[in-house]
Amino acid sequence: MSGMREFLRGFGIVFLAGAGVVGGFLFFPAHLFSGFLNSVGPAIIGLGGGETVPKEKTPAELIAEARERSSKIKGLYMTADVANDPGAGATRLRKNIIRIAEETEVNGIVIDVKEVCGVDYDEKRTRELLAELKQKNIWSIARITVFKDASQVAAHPDWYLARNAPHVVGGECVRKRHLAAKPAGTPAPAVGAALWQDRRGGYWMDPASLDVRNYILDISKRMIDVGFDELQFDYIRFPSDGDVENAMYPVWDSNTPRHEVLKSFFAFLHDNLKQYKPEIMLSVDLFGYVAAQREDLTIGQRLDDIGHLFDYVSFMVYPSHYYSGFSYAADPANNLPAVHYSVAEARMHPDVVVGRSLIAARDYLNVINNPQTIDANDRRSFARLRGAEVASSSSSNYATADVATSAGDSARNQPSIAGARIRPWLEDFFHEDDKAAGRPYGAEKVRMQIDAAEAAEDAGWLLWNAANLYSEGALKKE
């Protein structure tokens, strides 16, 4: 403090010759005063009621700002190839997606940075793209596939599920072998027939492996450093397709429930990434079925374990993906009737599929995040929430009424009370098939899903099209 007094005393002597007195107050010429402020920086917050030097935002302020900015993201998916390829075709698709975001209600873009074939991004081009998105106030989300990853098979075969029966499936990463990590030192032995593969030939890492967890954490931190606003985790589960009974895990012991393994991984990601950058937003992709069947589906995903560890949950409520049918019990609290659809009928009613799934998930998240808000004497809420079914149905009693948009005020715009909010993936694909079958398609189908999602919880939505082509007619102009 004495040093500062000496400095200020010297400052007064040096500049006194250039000062003026007006009305009894001492003033310095602007060029002298600004030079002084530039030299001392933030050491002096304000002098004599003048302008203050801007102070840095606190972590709490940054978190609140990120939550506010991310609260109603309406996004489009962009593949890694389109995001990184400088060629004319990719550039045209990339610019078109950005143009849509500038001209419509869309305000976010989900970009693949790690897919099932491995990490796939060019850092220089990605930084340039993110700078452009930031300048245009477009929210950027890095999509990271987690446990389905073929890139480390040669370098780290011990990270992967093995199999106890000979079986080889054609791989799905033939075109992207350049993403595979090379083994260090002595080449690893051939592992093709030794590792377990799913129906599409994909390889899966052990969710219980600490090496795997650190590998995912390292990639996630790199994406934060590159400049993404949010990280979204997909394939964050145990495998579901293929002869899973023949899969052998190098670390996980089958005595520990799968959901406990994933719950510990969710906490691992949350704690490490929020410490690394408190304001980074975290989201997770879940099967649409999980919105209804909240118990473990053998893949380890449970809503109970997610509510306080992620900022957003993106259910993939694609109406075309309910291959075993779509069924929900009556929901008197929200004035909704029972609904029982075959797979074909589910595609006839995309709004019902999206609306009923998200309403049930929203209400259940409210219960697990805030149990004190539920009347202890009113168990109907739990019974209703546990009564949802998504299973194969032999019944011919299929609902045909449009119940998503006529649900009444009680089911509309009721956000989850705390914890994770719902921002679903909606389908913008299979339009030709739907058109041929006389089902809603194109912009009509997409808008029906959007309206149902916004009626259930107005926290945004994401559109998926693997070809990077979107039904712009479904989007509101801005």
Q: Is the distance from CB of 366 to CB of 416 less than 8 angstroms? A: yes
Pairwise CA distance, residues 51 & 53, whole Å: 7
Q: What is the mean pLDDT of residues 272-276?
A: 98
Q: What is the mean pLDDT of residues 272-301?
A: 88
Q: What is the mean pLDDT of residues 185-214?
A: 82
Token code pair at residue 390: 């998504």
Pairwise CA distance, residues 389 & 468, whole Å: 33
Q: What pLDDT score was predicted for residue 145?
A: 98
Indicate the average pLDDT of the chain.
82
Query: Does 170 or 264 have the greater pLDDT score?
Result: 264
Condensed to tens digits (0 to 9), the pLDDT of residues 403-456 reads 333 333 444 444 444 589 999 999 999 999 999 999 999 999 999 999 999 999
The whole-model pTM stands at: 0.79
Q: What pLDDT score was predicted for residue 307?
A: 84
- Residue 249 pLDDT exceeds 50: yes
Comparing C-alpha atoms, which of 446, 453, 450 is closest to residue 469?
A: 446
Q: What pLDDT score was predicted for residue 177?
A: 65
Q: What is the mean pLDDT of residues 55-67?
A: 93
* Dihedral sign of CA atoms 122, 127, 132, 136 in order: positive
Q: 226: Cβ–Cβ under 8 A, 6 or more apart, which residues?
A: 121, 123, 126, 127, 130, 142
Q: What is the number of alpha carbons within 13 Å of residue 39 lying toward its C-beta?
A: 9
Q: What pLDDT score was predicted for residue 223?
A: 99
Query: pLDDT band for position 167 (50/70/90)?
Result: low
How large a percentage of the chain has pLDDT more than 90? 65
Comparing C-alpha atoms, which of 323, 391, 357, 312 is closest to residue 139?
A: 312
Q: Is the distance from CB of 203 to CB of 242 less than 8 angstroms? A: no
Query: pLDDT band for position 144 (50/70/90)?
Result: very high
- Burial (CB < 10 A; 0-12, 13-18, 19+), residue 254, is exposed
How large a percentage of the chain has pLDDT more than 70? 73
- Residue 296 pLDDT exceeds 90: no
The CATH code of the domain at 63-474 is 3.20.20.80
- Residue 50 pLDDT exceeds 80: no
Token code pair at residue 292: 């209804």
Q: What is the 3-state secondary structure (H, E, C) of 27-43?
A: ECCHHHHHHHHHHHHHH
Query: pLDDT band for position 458 (50/70/90)?
Result: confident
- Residue 173 pLDDT exceeds 90: no
- Burial (CB < 10 A; 0-12, 13-18, 19+), residue 170, is exposed
Pairwise CA distance, residues 95 & 406, whole Å: 38
Query: pLDDT band for position 322 (50/70/90)?
Result: very high
Query: pLDDT band for position 286 (50/70/90)?
Result: very high
| Domain limits, the chain | 2-43, 63-474
Strand ranges for 146-292 from DSSP E:
162-163, 230-234, 247-248, 281-287
Query: pLDDT band for position 368 (50/70/90)?
Result: confident
Q: What pLDDT score was predicted for residue 180?
A: 73
Pairwise CA distance, residues 354 & 258, whole Å: 27
* Dihedral sign of CA atoms 55, 56, 58, 61 in order: positive
Query: pLDDT band for position 184 (50/70/90)?
Result: low
Pairwise CA distance, residues 299 & 316, whole Å: 15
